[in-house]
Each structure stands twice: as C-alpha cells, then as structure tokens.
Amino acid sequence: MTETEAASLRGVWKRYSRSGGWVLRNVDLVIGAGTVHAVLGGNGDGKSTLLRILAGLSSASKGAARRPRRSVSYVPERLPAALRMTAERYLLQMARLRGPEADLIQARSLNLLERLQLSPGPDVPIIQLSKGNRQKVSLAQAFGFPAVLTVLDEPFSGLDREATAELRAILAETRADGRSVVVGAHHPAALEDADAFHRLTVGRLRPAPASTSPGSLRSGSGPVRSGDRLARIELRAVEATASAALLAELPGVRSVDDEPASGQVVVITSDPDGALRTALSHGWSFVRGDLQLAEAEETW
Amino acid sequence: MIIVSLVRYLAGDVLRAGRWVAPGVLFLILTVSGTAVGGTALGGYGFTATALLPIAIWVTITVLNSEDPIQTGITTVAVGSALTVRLTKLAVAFLACQFLTAIGVLWPLLTGHRATASDVLAGLIGHLLSSLAGVAFGGLLSRPLLRAPAWAVIGGIVVFLLEILIPGFPPVRPIAVSFSDVPPTSAELFRTLGQVAAETVIGAVVLIGLAQRLAQRRT
C-alpha cells in the first residue's frame, strides 16, 4: 500500500465454503487517498461481500486485501433495529471503542446527526426509530471518526431528500479531507460526484462505463416528482439500430448502464411503459424488469 | 482503555437484554437444593462445580449471541480486530460466571457446612476450572459457528454428558470424584487439582483457538 493508496484488493477471490460457488472472482480494486468509489451491483452479485472484505470483516479466499487496520469506518446495509440504547448513548459507546478521543468523536457524531436531521432526537431509543433514522445514526457513527477509509453499504437506503443531499455534502467534505470512501449501491442514483464507478456482476468487477454516471445521462424531463416509482429494465440489442444514447434521452429515464460485452443495457426509469415502447421499436429486446424498484423520492 | 470500553459496552448489552437471568436463577436453585442436606462444604463444591459447567456454557452462548451480528461488524471495525472482540466476549462470559462461582463457594459457608481453608481454596479452583471449560465449549456452540439455538442446546447437553460420564474427562468428573464425601488428604487433593487445571487450561486454549479459526472461515 502506497501513501496515495488508502486500500486495495488484488486478485481477490471469495467463497464461503469449499463446495460453494465463488462470490467474488479475481477482483482488482485500488482506492486512492481522497477518492470516492462507487461499486454498483444487483442482489447476489457479491457487493456486500466485497465491502466486508474492504472493511476487514471477511477475509479473501485467494488474493490480497490491504486496508488501514485501525482507521476504517463501516456502515452496514441496515443498523439493527433492536439496539437497546438511545442514539446518543450508542454513539458514545462506539466512540469509546475508537480510543482516547471518545468525547470529540461523539461530539462530531452528534453534530452529524443534527445535519442529517434525526427525528425525533438523539435521546430516543434506537428501537423506536424508523429505518431512515437508524440509517442516519449509522452514518453519524461512521463519519464521526475521521477514518482513512469509510465503507458504506447502500448508505442512501431509506434517507429522505434532505438527508440524501446532506450525505452527499459529507462525502464531498470527506474527500476534501484526503480521506477515502467506498460506496456500494444497486444503482448510481445520488452518486454523481463519485470519482470512479465499478460494476460488480456475478462476482466480477469491471470499471463501469462513463455512461453509468447519471449526471451525463439524466433525461431532460426535469426533477423527479415526489412519489414517482423507478423501474429497472434490462434490454438486449437485437438490431444494429439499437442505441443506448436514444434511451438516455427518453422522458423519465434516470440512467442507462451500457454493458457492451453482453450487448445489454440496464435502464432506470420512472416511465417504464414509454421506455419499453420506444426500445422495442428501435432494435431492443426485453430481457427482464423490476417495476417496483423504489420510491423516487427515497433514491434521489 | 479500548478493552475496558469494550468490556463495559458488551457487559451492558448483555445486562440490558436480561437473558442472563435464567441461567443465574437456575444455578442459584441448584446450589441451594444441592447443598441443602448438610455434610461438608467440599462435597457441596463437587456438586456446584459440576452444575456450573452447563450453566457456564449457557452464559457464554448468551454473551456471544447477545450482540446482533450486523452490530458485531460495526464493533469489529471500530476496534480493528475480530479476534479482540471475540476474546473480550469470552472474557465477559468468564467474568459473569465468577458471580456464580462466588455463590457456589460462599453459599455452603453461609449455611453452616463444615469447611477448612484448603476446602474453600479447592472449591474456588474447582469452580474456576469448571467455568473456564464451560466458556471454551460455549464458544464452539455459539455464533457464527452455530446459529440455531436448538443445536446449541443439544451440543451443550452432549458436552455435559461426556464430562460427567467419561472417567477422567477434565475438569468436572475428576473434581467431583476428588471432592466426594471421603475426602483425600490436602496434598492429594491439590495434586489432582493441579493436574486437572493444567489439562483444562490447555484444553480451553485449544478449543478457543479452534472456535476462532472456524469462525474466521465462516465470515
């Protein structure tokens, strides 16, 4: 690991038993100091396993994983609901595990909770908090400590629009401090500012194409309306006329993830009917779709 | 400092969950009923040290399974070592068992059983060894090695039966035999205890190391 490198995975393979299948296959990933990396993948593609290896919670079956031993923060996909203490107490307990500067770390965490607008407040037992508010506590726990590497698994899950914007600001500040962040997510919504995108597909990690960035592909249909539902549609090019750029211009389309190797694209849209109509008449074939992906308000 | 904070956090979590009440009360009942007929304190210690083994397994499983596995991930990253977190949980379980040791050793004295200083010392050592073995076996019967409580219960019963039925299996069978109502001389008693202590400590280290290795594989 060099001075400009916060963590790295080199030739990492992972399986959980000798007879089990490979969850990760020959994964290479170098996290530079002061960078934000987005690892995109669907359910079962190995995203959480990769993040757990980066966080030091799981070991690689083959290959080398390097990370700062005592300067990592971690946000799991969800904070347990049944934590038997208030958010304030929890943050103090976690801060004490970091060493002598517990009071300072707890103060930073409480400040982050204010920024993320925890409701009803830090003196309420975590068991009484909603999923989104538990996520805020989890984020405050992670960013209260100035870790060299912060690993986030679906950090935007359950956050409202204001908290999403605040988390993006926190990510930017973390990067400006020279610290690194790896974010695992199903799709690139709210990650426009990431320095690098990676696509994990059935355990294989590849640099995601530039078109993954939703900033460059967002349609001209204006801001997402509250209550819009996003659909995920997979399409396969069957004619030479099939154009990913055309799909990106359709109303309601939020992102188009081009996978040239398979000739497939993944379209995230709030108007699946319109996108499908146009796609099918322009050289695309329908592969599969998830029409109840998420509330647009939650993911953007 | 971090270890002290970790012990406080883990012990607080176990206390708040309240799952320690059942094994604690059961041991108290066993101690009171098992020493009710009188006789020497040493005979009572043979019984309570034996009873402490399955209770220590139960306490250890309770401590190791108390924290949600997802929260264990956060705790481990904060501390920086899965080994430290696991060993600290085992230490918390061992410390919790020493409250039971205090009950087991003091109760016969408080209820008028005959005891010499060497009897009390032998009883204390017997309870310490029994709880150490219970903690080591409990580590093998808890998360992430065994997730289903039913298998943990069956495993605990099998371990206890092996301990009391196989002659010479350290620590409880030799302790119970040497503490029986025809007491040997102190020299013989402590020679036996020394041998059982060496076997138990080595066995516990092996079992804890094995559990740690298996736990690493499961994650």
On chain B, the residues whose CB falls within 8 A of the CB of A79 are 70-71, 74
Long-range Cβ contact pairs of A22-29 (< 8 A, separation 24 or more):
A22/A203, A23/A49, A23/A203, A24/A49, A24/A50, A24/A53, A24/A60, A24/A203, A24/A205, A25/A202, A25/A203, A25/A204, A26/A63, A26/A204, A27/A63, A27/A200, A27/A203, A27/A204, A27/A205, A28/A205, A29/A54, A29/A198, A29/A205
CA distances from A13 to A19, A204, A266 (A): 14, 9, 26
- Which residue among B12, B13, B77 places its CB closest to the CB of A57? B77
Residue A299 has pLDDT above 80, yes or no: no
Alpha-carbon gap: A197 to the closest alpha carbon of chain B (Å): 24
**pLDDT confidence of residue A2:** 57
**pLDDT confidence of residue A219:** 34
**pLDDT confidence of residue A260:** 58
Q: Does B1 touch chain A (CB under 8 A)?
A: yes
Contact in structure between B61 and B142 (CB atoms under 8 Å): yes
Contact B74 A145 (CB under 8 A): no
On chain B, the residues whose CB falls within 8 A of the CB of A93 are 5, 9, 12
Alpha-carbon gap: B38 to the closest alpha carbon of chain A (Å): 44
Which residues 59-98 of B are in CB contact (within 8 Å) with A? Answer: 68, 70-71, 73-82
Other Cβ atoms less than 10 A from the Cβ of A158: the count is 19
Q: Does B214 touch chain A (CB under 8 A)?
A: no
Full-model pTM: 0.79
The count of CB pairs under 8 A between chains A and B is 73
Q: Which two tokens stand for residue A142?
A: 């992670």
A1-5, A109-113, B97-101, range with the lowest pLDDT: A1-5
Contact B12 A79 (CB under 8 A): no
Hunting for tokens 């009188």 — which residue is that? B38
Q: What is the ipTM of this complex?
A: 0.82
User: Which residues on adjacent β-strands are paired with residue A73?
Assistant: A150
- Which residue among B1, B74, B78 places its CB closest to the CB of A100? B1
Q: Which two tokens stand for residue B135?
A: 């903690």
A212-255 pLDDT, tens digit per residue, is: 444 333 333 333 333 456 788 888 888 777 777 778 777 777 77
CA distances from A54 to A63, A64, A285, B122 (A): 13, 11, 37, 49
Which residues 41-80 of A are in CB contact (within 8 Å) with B? Answer: 52, 55-59, 69-70, 72-74, 76-80
Q: How far is CA A149 from the centre of its chain?
A: 15
Residue A195 has pLDDT above 50, yes or no: yes
Alpha-carbon gap: B25 to the closest alpha carbon of chain A (Å): 23
Residue among B21, B201, B171 nearest B96 (CA): B21
Q: How far is CA B49 from the centre of its chain?
A: 9
On chain A, the residues whose CB falls within 8 A of the CB of B10 are none
Q: Which two tokens stand for residue A17?
A: 């038993």
Contact in structure between A182 and A152 (CB atoms under 8 Å): yes
> Considering chain B, what percentage of its residues have pLDDT values greater than 90?
67
Buried b (16+ CB within 10 A) or exposed e, B69-84: eebbbbbbbbbbebee
Contact A57 B6 (CB under 8 A): no
On chain A, the residues whose CB falls within 8 A of the CB of B12 are 85, 93
User: Which residues on adjacent β-strands are paired with residue A267?
Assistant: A233, A256
Contact A94 B75 (CB under 8 A): yes
> Considering chain B, what percentage of its residues have pLDDT values greater than 70?
98
Contact in structure between A152 and A183 (CB atoms under 8 Å): yes
CA distances from B154 to A11, A291, B149 (A): 41, 46, 9
On chain A, the residues whose CB falls within 8 A of the CB of B81 are 69
State the average pLDDT for chain B: 91
Residues near A206 by Cβ (< 8 Å), separated by ≥ 6?
A198, A199
Q: Which two tokens stand for residue A184?
A: 């695992």
User: Which residues on adjacent β-strands are paired with residue A14?
Assistant: A24
- Kindly state the helix (H) or strand (E) to which residue A141 belongs, with its residue range: helix A131-144
Residue among A25, A34, A26 nearest A7 (CA): A34
B144-181 pLDDT, tens digit per residue, is: 898 888 999 999 999 999 988 888 888 988 898 888 85
Residues near A38 by Cβ (< 8 Å), separated by ≥ 6?
A183, A184, A185, A188, A191, A194, A196, A197, A198, A208
Other Cβ atoms less than 10 A from the Cβ of A119: the count is 12
Residue among B53, B48, B50, B24 nearest B133 (CA): B53
Cα A49 from Cα B218, distance rounded (Å): 12
**pLDDT confidence of residue B181:** 58
Contact B1 A74 (CB under 8 A): no
On chain A, the residues whose CB falls within 8 A of the CB of B9 are 93, 96-97
